[in-house]
Amino acid sequence: MWFDEFDTPIGVMTMAADPTGLRHVLFPDNKYPPARDTSWRRDAGALREAREQLLAYFAGERQTFDLPLAPTGTAFQVKVWTTLARIPYGRTWSYGDLARHIGEPKAVRAVGAANGRNPLPVILPCHRVIGADGSLTGFGGGLPLKKFLLQHEGRHTPLTLA
């Protein structure tokens, strides 16, 4: 597993990948950090494209990511995580919306649990999932960071007139 650590507007972030793709995006503080072992090797070159795309996102120059992804989880979790990429930049879905989009409208709690274990936050935008009443709820990087990411996207989303 290759990893790199670099400064971002929210602090030092870590990305990790293996030959199949990006496995982890880690905030300065994480609720569920992966276990690092001796197989993790620092290699900024292996993560150059991922780092550049993430930094372009923070600069307001990128709204989507084009990277090989390799999140590890149950089939249900991976289904939830990959569906996150369908939430438009600058928009939000409720947990119920996400459950409906994966074809499991009654699985709202399970969707919430899977969302909270997303190993690729920002890249797979779990911060765009909010409570049914519009409230900011659980986020692996903490609610202040979720608020920051949503406000960041709001500043860089063009207004459309009907």
Which residues have a catalytic role annotated?
126
CA separation for the pair 89, 150 (Å, rounded): 9
CA separation for the pair 125, 122 (Å, rounded): 4
Tell me the pairing of strands 11-18 and 21-26: antiparallel
SS3 27: coil
8 A C-beta contact, residue 15 and residue 1: no
SS3 14: strand
CA separation for the pair 1, 24 (Å, rounded): 10
8 A C-beta contact, residue 111 and residue 99: yes
